[in-house]
Amino acid sequence: MVEPADVPPTYVRSQLRGVDLLRVLDDDVLDRLAERVTVHDHNPGEVVLHEGDEAAGLFVVFRGTATVERGEVPIAIIGPGEHVGEIALLDGEPRVATVRAERDLRTGYLTSADFLDVLEADPGVALELLISMAARFRFVEERLADAETRLSAHQRDWPG
């Protein structure tokens, strides 16, 4: 993992603006977050984070793609604007997946401590983010319900 030499804060803010979770925030808040983000470049195959490790922040994909794995089984491919670790911003529980760079990957990392500092300075931001996280949770629940329905239909149709 290498920290890029010259990444202007405006680049980081524009990358954060593309993240669904953070899209609800105004430019002033994004500027404060961008000042705290650490940018890293990762080589293909490099593990960005390990399942089971202590979680202490959010990773956002700025460029490239990464594979998300649980128990060495790929479960998703993530790309620019996507993120992992949003729950870790708040609860600090161990990582539930491993993330591995597929191609040259650039990530932004925001620690829980830095995130919470911004929230404490502007509690209204917390409400905006809760609404955004609720929408994301609803989307995931809908996808899970759809998958359960398809699985049930498949099991009914399966000769047995």
- Determine, yes or no, domain membership for 1: no
4 in any annotated domain = no
Q: Residue 13 — pLDDT band, cuts 50, 70, 90?
A: very high
Return the CATH number at 129.
2.60.120.10
In a domain, 65, yes or no: yes
Question: Does 3 map to a domain?
Answer: no
- Its domain, for residue 131, covers 9-157
What's the confidence (pLDDT) of residue 139?
A: 81
Q: Say how many domains are in the chain.
A: 1
90 falls within a domain: yes
Looking up tokens 């980081």, which residue turns up?
Answer: 12
The verdict on pTM exceeding 0.75 is: yes
What is the C-alpha separation between 94 and 52, in angstroms, rounded? 5
> In degrees rounded to 5, what are phi and psi of residue 96?
-100, 0
Indicate whether 3 pLDDT > 70: no
In a domain, 35, yes or no: yes
Asked if residue 126 belongs to a domain, the reply is yes
Residue range 83-92: mean pLDDT, rounded: 80
pLDDT digits (tens, 9 = 90+) for 89-138: 778 788 889 999 998 999 999 998 998 888 888 888 888 878 877 887 78
